[in-house]
Structure 1
Amino acid sequence: MKLRTLIHLATRPDPSEPEDDRPRGVRAAARRAAETVLQAPQVQDRAASLKERAQELRAAARSRADQHLEGLIESAAARRGESTPSEVAALLARRRREREEQAARLRARQALLALAEGPEQRRVLTLVAQSTPWAGGTEPEVRYTALLDRLAPSGSAEAEMGIHRALWTLAERRVLAVSPHGVVTACPLTEQAN
């Protein structure tokens, strides 16, 4: 949609609201237009991909900095003719392990998102990955209804149907699992190898 069309739609008063409750003015129209744009699937997809790319770049920069630090510590010890102290070596080994685990979680997240076969599936998997520990997620568990509310905030049947279809297609492919209580989780990637 073009910005002009979005502004036109946003400035049109909602007939379901009473006349007294309607916000007026340019600010209200701009706010409604911004909310409409932010809820657009293309904008949400782009924001998710930018966030992913930023995480990748941060991880790569952190890895390079840690490797450089390790090299400096080892070369300083070698110049003095000493070996690296055991405490420092243990700390460096622990940081290296943590870095490798983080890289493995990032690769698992990318592999999970690569299983999407369309934009709706990618949006669903992105939200589920945010609550999947083995894919680097730190968010609390995501429920089916909350996922629908977040991905189809308009509540329109067409928008919700696309999300339902994406969820159940992923569940049939055993990429996702939905508990009887409505908790949506990602299945371990080893189950995908069929």
Structure 2
Amino acid sequence: MGEDILEFGAAKKEFAAEREAFNSEKKGLLWKVADGEEKLAKEKQLNADRQKDWTTACKRSNRELKAARDEVVKVKAEKAKESQEYERLFTVRKEKEAESQARIAALEKTIEEQKSQNKALELLAEDLGGDCKWLLARGIRLIADRLVKSEELVKYMFELSGAAYDSGRKDGYCFGQKSHKDNVTKSDFCEVECLVK
């Protein structure tokens, strides 16, 4: 029985040691659990803070993205408007350029026509100059000679001198007066006039 008591005492000590080791381990585990729970709570708080920050960042990012999209839409609209304005100005410029080209062509045509007219006028002036020289040199004399020798003019002068004499202008138209006094015929009047000249 003494052995049983010794065994029991040894077993009790061993149990006490195990119990103490178990309690120590239990305390260690409890501390670890408490530490883990504290860490978990901190992590949860950190995650909650991060979630909050992430939500805030997402909202901010969404706002920025929306603002960027709105800016892109605005820029696209402005670009489309500027493109339309550019197209309009380009069309206007092309029309004005075509109009200017047409005006230049018309002016060039007018200038060419004016040159042709000037050339024609120069040729006409040369011809007229030649005609004038001819008239001065010979034509006027021929015309005067024809007028003087014109039978119609002689008849007119004869009749005029007769009318003057009949009207009592005895001193006027000396050839007429003489021809009437001498009863000169029209043909004789012409010869007398030519002789007096």
TM-score by length of 1: 0.24
TM-score by length of 2: 0.23
The structure richer in strand per residue is: 1
The structure richer in helix per residue is: 2
Larger Rg: 2
